[in-house]
Amino acid sequence: MPEQYQFSGSSANDIARSVETAIARGDLAPGVALPSVRTLARDLHVSPTTVAAAFAELRRRGVIISRPRSGTRVAERPPLRYPIAVVPTGARDLATGSPDLALLPDFPAVGGPQRLYAAEPVLAELAELAREAFAADGIPAGRVCAVNGALDGIERALTAHLAPGDAVAVEDPGWTGVFDLCRMLGLRLVGIPVDERGMLPDALAAADVRAVVLTPRGHNPCGAAFDAARAAELRRALPDDVLVVEDDHLGPVAGTPYETLVRDRPRWAAVRSLSKWLGPDLRLAVLTADPTTLARVEGRQALGPGWVSGLIQRLAVQMWSDPEVLAQVSEAADTYRARREAFAAAVGVPAPPSGINVWVPVPDEDAAVRALLAEGWAVAAGTPYRLSGGLAIRVTVAALDVSEAPALADAVGRAVAPAWRTRAA
């Protein structure tokens, strides 16, 4: 049992509440292992059935996860308020997946009239910019809505059609935010392997699922991106009754063209975030979908927050329509490409075609993360990003200068094994 917290409770509800309290207070960090059912039952003097019921409820809500051979752990992003891990002072942050602050445009001053409750939820100017961008990528955008980031849009699209227990195909490795969101919604994850061109079509075709969430470009953590051939194969692999949700979280800084699967489908949604190329603090994404899905998303939003702040939307319009900002975004895409290619070459792995991360296989994730942190490099262990597959670390290279790539690659080599060579002599 974790030494920093003593669980309590004599009923399943009380035990579950004890675990949640520990997470919310920071006594149990994301990813920490929990005691086995039998161990906790013995320590609390209750039956294993009682503890199993508590764990089942926590799993259903995405608070904890269970994996073969690794036991039960706190989810990486449990749906509770919990202290966020902070990169130690003095360490380079290559772990949190942020864009390079130096490559983001400055926020201009923004004003405008107050918006009242009867106003349209999406500014006409933002809707027009989004429709043009979607259309340029072959996405049939009719109406567009604004949501609070990519994950908010994905959640609203999934809940428009799915119920707890439904199966969802996800990339494996894939984004931990999607994994934990689906777990919180009570959905069953079906991992689909990926290569440098995205999901493997044969594996997707064999999956019995009601929905699929995929990343056409800028895949997190591996940097995969669809080409036209792979997109066509995936379209053929998907039955018409499967909901397709596309997550374009990187947008134009992904570094590759966008290939879509949603054309001529009855149920689909495409979400494009503005966070990685205009600024994370915008908390804004645009979403388009088939008429039924969009109507359900808009209807549920109307019963909750109502709309995304008009100030944020006006700020996004001002930046998205500024030629100087767009030139800066294009320059950022080129810089990210150079950085991921430089580090991939230095560490000896294939260069990802897109994105801001490099996925590096290692024999021991925890040992590699600790060794790199000791040398001043903070990277992410691969465990939260995979449902199966080999061990790896995720290195976010967004702010890694090309000149720093050899030093980091050498540090990775020392972290993995003293005799491991990162580059040819």
CATH number reported for the structural domain that contains residue 67 in this entry: 1.10.10.10
Query: 337 and 303 share a domain?
Result: no
For residue 237, is it within any domain?
A: yes
Query: Going residue by residue through the chain (425 aa), what tens digit of pLDDT does each one get?
Result: 444 578 899 999 999 999 988 888 888 888 889 999 999 999 999 999 999 999 999 988 889 888 776 789 898 888 887 666 678 888 999 999 999 999 999 999 988 888 888 889 999 999 999 999 999 999 998 899 999 999 999 999 999 999 999 999 999 999 999 999 999 999 999 999 999 999 999 999 999 999 999 999 999 999 999 999 999 999 999 999 999 999 999 999 999 999 999 999 999 999 999 999 999 999 999 999 999 999 999 999 999 999 999 999 999 999 999 999 999 999 999 999 999 999 999 999 999 999 999 999 999 999 999 999 999 999 999 999 999 989 999 999 999 999 999 999 999 999 997 544 444 43
Are residues 164 and 244 both part of a single domain?
Answer: yes
Instruction: Please indicate, yes or no, whether residues 314 and 204 belong to a single structural domain of this protein.
Output: yes
Among the candidates 258, 289, 321, a domain finishes at 321
For residues 46 and 122, membership in a common domain is answered with no
| One-letter-per-residue 3-state SS of the chain | CCCCCCCCCCCHHHHHHHHHHHHHHCCCCCCCECCCHHHHHHHHCCCHHHHHHHHHHHHHCCCEEEECCCEEEECCCCCCCCCCCCCCCCCEECCCCCCCHHHCCCCCCCCCCCCCCCCCCCCHHHHHHHHHHHHHCCCCCCCCEEECCHHHHHHHHHHCCCCCCCEEEEEECCCHHHHHHHHHCCCEEEEEEEECCEECHHHHHHCCCCEEEECCCCCCCCCCCCCHHHHHHHHHHCCCCCEEEEEECCHHHHCCCCCCCCCCCCCEEEEEECHHHHCHHHCCEEEEECHHHHHHHHHHHHCCCCCCCHHHHHHHHHHHCCHHHHHHHHHHHHHHHHHHHHHHHHHCCCCCCCCCEEEEECCCHHHHHHHHHHCCEECEECHHHCCCCCCEEEEECCCCCHHHHHHHHHHHHHHHCCCCCCCCC
The pLDDT assigned to 83 comes to 64
Same domain, 120 and 65: no
- The total domain count for the chain is 3
User: Which pLDDT score is estimated for 418?
Assistant: 57
Query: Residue with structure tokens 């006006």?
Result: 314
Please report whether residue 5 resides in a domain. Answer: no
Looking at residue 423, its pLDDT comes to: 45
Check whether residue 56 and residue 147 sit in a common domain. no
Per-residue exposure over 314-341, b if at least 16 CB sit within 10 Å of its own CB, e if not? bbbbbbbeeeebeebbeebbebbbebbb
Same domain for 346 and 317?
no
On whether residue 85 sits in a domain, the answer given is no
Between CA 171 and CA 267 the distance in angstroms is 19
The CATH number assigned to the domain holding 360 equals 3.90.1150.10
For 154, the domain range is 109-321
370 and 232, same domain (yes or no):
no
pTM metric for this prediction: 0.88
The answer to whether residue 7 is domain-embedded is no
Residue 421 located in a structural domain: no
The answer on 283 and 221 residing in a single domain is: yes
356 located within any domain: yes
Within a domain: 1:
no
Which residue is associated with the tokens 């001053």?
Answer: 109
